[in-house]
């Protein structure tokens, strides 16, 4: 198990000092290299310069990734952004073109994974004696497989990694052969395996020893939770939350997932030594000046937009980042606090996540899709799309509502200069990351006129995005 002293984050003052000379937050052209950090911090301390978090404006994804796009491809030897880093790819509907990447210092990345593993062990999610099979896979660049494997290792568990070509029957055989007791993956992958297991004979199912399920990337519905409980009645269902920008930062132990499964939110425990959170009013999205610093965070218990300042990111700081989640902050329940060490309990807190701010993005099958990226793609002239509508819904043929379908309705013209419907289909599948493992949950419908679109009840307008399967 990681030594608790190694799982604590950096001092907030040091993080803000480096941020003041980082191109994310200043006019400095290049981030510092790793070997430059000690001298920079020593100079700041010597000058007794004080930095306050409130003096930094909120950081938006658009501005951040504009700077990242420049730094990622600049091969100047002074560019610390291309040196000694672990590269995380972000979702955001970036199937059209290259995905955006966020660099974290490789040593800091290892330390953060150790800290998250320590959090999982402290909360009783995974630890020594657990054998975990993780099924986090994707078709292109992806971080979740190695990320979660290392986090589980840091918690003390032993890990098996299921490859993208591993068939469901083979996964079951491996679970039985190695007496695996925990399965982990995106919520969609967990449900696919669970549905397969439910079709097996009673004798086969009795050979499975699953008593822990850990899901990531997307929320589970009440129906999905109920199905897991019926299939694995003794299994503790937990969750981990992470992003390319912040890395893994919080977890929801079984006690919390069980009590909140029927709610429209999920409670995650985080360590304030690793992550500083603020919640701001929704009105900040209406600010015209991106550098305004006069907005005040809301008190605990009030719902708003989650803003993250990572204490695990020093060389490439994440300061007051508007991550797109709707959240409120709460004290740790006494039932969980009682099981923690006296050293850790005062530092743990609950972030109540209500999902994405639907004005900014939506999620499907473990990926987040940013509305501006999707909208830009739909305006591609050669695609000839006149109108589109995205509907996130339950699977109509699945009475148990276990599968979340992404339905896409498209009306297009075929004037000269447009590509064929088959080519558009390929582009749309690429945009929404559709592969063999999730294509049954992608429903693309080409319409012949506007009558096939769902409309608002007031102005009869076509709504571009409709969520019929929230939470």
Provide the token pair at 433.
């990351």
- Domain 367-467 coded CATH 3.30.300: yes
**CATH architecture of the domain formed by 1-356:** 3-Layer(aba) Sandwich (3.40)
- pLDDT above 50 (res 370): yes
- pLDDT above 80 (res 409): yes
Locus of tokens 């790793």: 34
- In this prediction, residues 345-363 reach a mean pLDDT of 83
Q: Which pLDDT belongs to residue 132?
A: 98
- pLDDT above 80 (res 173): yes
Distance, in Å, from the CA atom of 347 to the CA atom of 279, rounded to the nearest integer, reads 18
CA distances from 361 to 101, 270, 428, 453, 466 (A): 18, 23, 17, 21, 12
This prediction has a pTM of 0.78
Q: Which of 102, 93, 50 is nearest to 72 (CA)?
A: 102
- In this prediction, residues 318-341 reach a mean pLDDT of 94
- In this prediction, residues 411-424 reach a mean pLDDT of 86
Q: Which pLDDT belongs to residue 99?
A: 61
Q: Which pLDDT belongs to residue 62?
A: 83
The SS3 call for residue 137 is: coil
| Each residue's pLDDT tens digit, 179-225 | 999 999 988 788 888 888 988 999 999 999 999 999 987 777 777 78
- pLDDT above 70 (res 457): no
pLDDT band, very low/low/confident/very high, at 2 (cuts 50, 70, 90)? very low
Range scoring the smallest mean pLDDT among 65-69, 100-104, 258-262, 401-405:
401-405
- pLDDT above 70 (res 324): yes
Q: Which of 164, 184, 192, 193 is nearest to 251 (CA)?
A: 184
Q: Which of 98, 88, 95, 94 is nearest to 147 (CA)?
A: 88
- In this prediction, residues 120-125 reach a mean pLDDT of 97
Distance, in Å, from the CA atom of 41 to the CA atom of 262, rounded to the nearest integer, reads 48
The SS3 call for residue 448 is: coil
The SS3 call for residue 319 is: coil
Distance, in Å, from the CA atom of 193 to the CA atom of 189, rounded to the nearest integer, reads 6
- pLDDT above 60 (res 92): no
Range scoring the smallest mean pLDDT among 50-54, 91-95, 156-160, 376-380:
91-95
Terminal Cα-to-Cα distance of the chain (whole angstroms): 34
Distance, in Å, from the CA atom of 177 to the CA atom of 379, rounded to the nearest integer, reads 51
Q: Domain locations in the chain? A: 1-356, 367-467
């Amino acid at each position: 198990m990681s030594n608790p002293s190694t799982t604590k984050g950096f001092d907030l003052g040091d993080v803000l000092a480096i941020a003041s000379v980082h191109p994310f937050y200043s006019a400095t052209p290049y981030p510092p290299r790793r070997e430059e950090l000690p001298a920079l911090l020593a100079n700041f301390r010597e000058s007794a310069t004080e930095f306050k978090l409130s003096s930094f404006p909120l950081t938006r994804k658009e501005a951040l990734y504009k700077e990242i796009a420049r730094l990622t491809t600049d091969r100047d030897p002074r560019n610390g952004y291309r040196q000694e880093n672990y590269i995380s790819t972000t979702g955001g509907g970036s199937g059209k073109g290259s995905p955006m990447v966020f660099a974290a210092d490789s040593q800091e990345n290892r330390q953060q994974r150790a800290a998250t593993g320590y959090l999982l062990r402290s909360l009783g999610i995974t630890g020594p004696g657990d054998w975990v099979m993780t099924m986090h896979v994707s078709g292109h660049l992806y971080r979740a497989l190695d990320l979660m494997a290392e986090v589980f290792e840091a918690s003390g568990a032993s890990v098996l990694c299921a490859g993208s070509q591993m068939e469901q029957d083979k996964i079951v055989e491996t679970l039985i052969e190695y007496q695996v007791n925990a399965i982990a993956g995106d919520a969609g992958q967990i449900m696919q395996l669970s549905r397969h297991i439910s079709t097996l004979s009673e004798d086969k199912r009795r050979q499975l020893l699953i008593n822990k399920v850990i899901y990531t990337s997307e929320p589970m519905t009440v129906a999905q939770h109920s199905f897991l409980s019926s299939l694995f009645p003794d299994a503790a269902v937990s969750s981990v939350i992470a992003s390319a920008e912040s890395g893994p930062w919080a977890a929801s132990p079984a006690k919390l997932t069980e009590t909140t499964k029927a709610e429209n939110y999920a409670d995650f425990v985080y360590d304030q030594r690793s992550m500083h959170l603020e919640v701001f009013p929704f009105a900040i999205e209406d600010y015209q000046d991106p550098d305004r610093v006069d907005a005040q965070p809301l008190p605990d218990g009030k719902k708003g937009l989650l803003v993250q300042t990572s204490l695990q990111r020093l060389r490439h700081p994440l300061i007051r980042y508007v991550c797109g989640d709707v959240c409120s902050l709460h004290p740790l329940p006494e039932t969980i606090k009682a099981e923690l060490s006296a050293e850790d309990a005062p530092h743990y807190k609950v972030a109540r996540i209500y999902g994405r701010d639907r004005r900014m993005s939506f999620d499907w099958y473990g990926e987040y899709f940013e509305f501006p990226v999707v909208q830009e793609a739909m305006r591609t002239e050669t695609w000839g799309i006149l109108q589109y509508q995205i509907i996130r819904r339950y699977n109509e043929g699945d009475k148990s509502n276990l599968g979340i379908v992404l339905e896409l309705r498209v009306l297009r013209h075929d004037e000269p200069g447009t590509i064929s419907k088959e080519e558009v289909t390929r582009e749309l599948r690429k945009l929404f990351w559709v592969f063999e493992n999730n294509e049954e949950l992608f429903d693309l419908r080409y319409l012949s006129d506007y009558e096939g679109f769902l409309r608002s009840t007031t102005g009869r307008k076509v709504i571009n995005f409709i969520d019929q399967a929230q939470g």
